[in-house]
């Protein structure tokens, strides 16, 4: 007789029965703080260890974090804040914003946007998988407008919050908010640089 469960693991992601990713975020949080506790005892090679054990987990499935609630994003942000304070030897009660700025780190929400927008750029420029490209449709207004030809994408209509988390909705929605100079970047490296500058300014200004 098969044993039933309300969770499933797939490619390192713990999926809840209602797809809210709470179990996955809980797992990341537990492992990240465990690694951080051990890393904080080591004086040398801090930066390499942080990226190997902490950010590798935070960034691994950033694309699937689209649409998760603010409470869940806050839990992930607290991990990044703790990492930043350990790395810079900042006191626990000190304000975190100047620390993140000094490290030039994007906050968790912007890191998620960065990953999604990178997938969009790669798909639109023949650098990504076809199944991603098939989810993206160029915006075609019913009559000629100034916005025509500016690299905008069509945003599908949705009815529920769960549908808003779908890549086919969230990716075009976020992409269309980028300045045209970013959307029309000629190379991947130029896009990454321009995108990070834009997201960094949006996060801290």
pLDDT recorded at residue 157: 84
Residue-range definition of the domain harbouring residue 38: 7-104
Residue 201 has pLDDT above 70, yes or no: yes
83 part of a folded domain: yes
14 and 98 housed in the same domain = yes
Average pLDDT over residues 159-175: 84
Q: What is the tens place of the pLDDT at every residue in 112-135?
A: 999 999 999 999 999 988 888 998
79 and 15 housed in the same domain = yes
Instruction: Give the rounded percent of residues in the chain with a pLDDT score beyond 90.
Output: 34
**Cα–Cα distance for residue pair 60/12, rounded to 1 Å:** 9
Task: Give the pLDDT band (50/70/90) at residue 92.
Answer: confident
What pTM was computed for the model?
0.72
**Cα–Cα distance for residue pair 93/88, rounded to 1 Å:** 13
100 and 115 housed in the same domain = no
2 part of a folded domain: no
Residue 152 has pLDDT above 70, yes or no: yes
153 and 168 housed in the same domain = yes
Residue 105 has pLDDT above 80, yes or no: yes
1 part of a folded domain: no
88 and 138 housed in the same domain = no
95 and 116 housed in the same domain = no
| Number of domains forming the structure of the chain | 2
Residue 163 has pLDDT above 90, yes or no: no
């Amino acid at each position: 007789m098969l044993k039933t469960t309300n969770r499933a693991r797939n490619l390192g992601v713990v999926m809840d029965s209602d797809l809210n990713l709470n179990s996955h975020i809980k797992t990341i949080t537990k492992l990240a703080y465990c690694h951080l506790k051990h890393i904080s005892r080591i004086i040398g090679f801090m930066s390499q260890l942080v990226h190997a054990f902490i950010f590798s987990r935070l960034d691994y499935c950033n694309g699937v974090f689209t649409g998760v609630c603010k409470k869940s994003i806050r839990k992930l942000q607290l991990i990044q804040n703790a990492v930043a304070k350990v790395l810079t030897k900042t006191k626990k009660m000190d304000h975190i914003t100047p620390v993140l700025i000094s490290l030039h780190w994007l906050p968790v929400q912007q890191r998620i946007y960065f990953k999604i927008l990178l997938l969009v750029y790669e798909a639109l420029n023949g650098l990504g998988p076809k199944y991603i490209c098939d989810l993206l449709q160029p915006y075609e207004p019913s009559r000629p407008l100034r916005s025509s030809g500016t690299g905008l994408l069509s945003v599908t209509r949705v009815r529920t919050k769960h549908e808003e988390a779908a890549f086919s909705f969230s990716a075009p929605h976020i992409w269309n908010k980028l300045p045209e100079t970013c959307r029309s970047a000629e190379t991947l490296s130029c896009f990454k640089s321009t995108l990070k500058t834009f997201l960094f300014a949006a996060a801290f200004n």
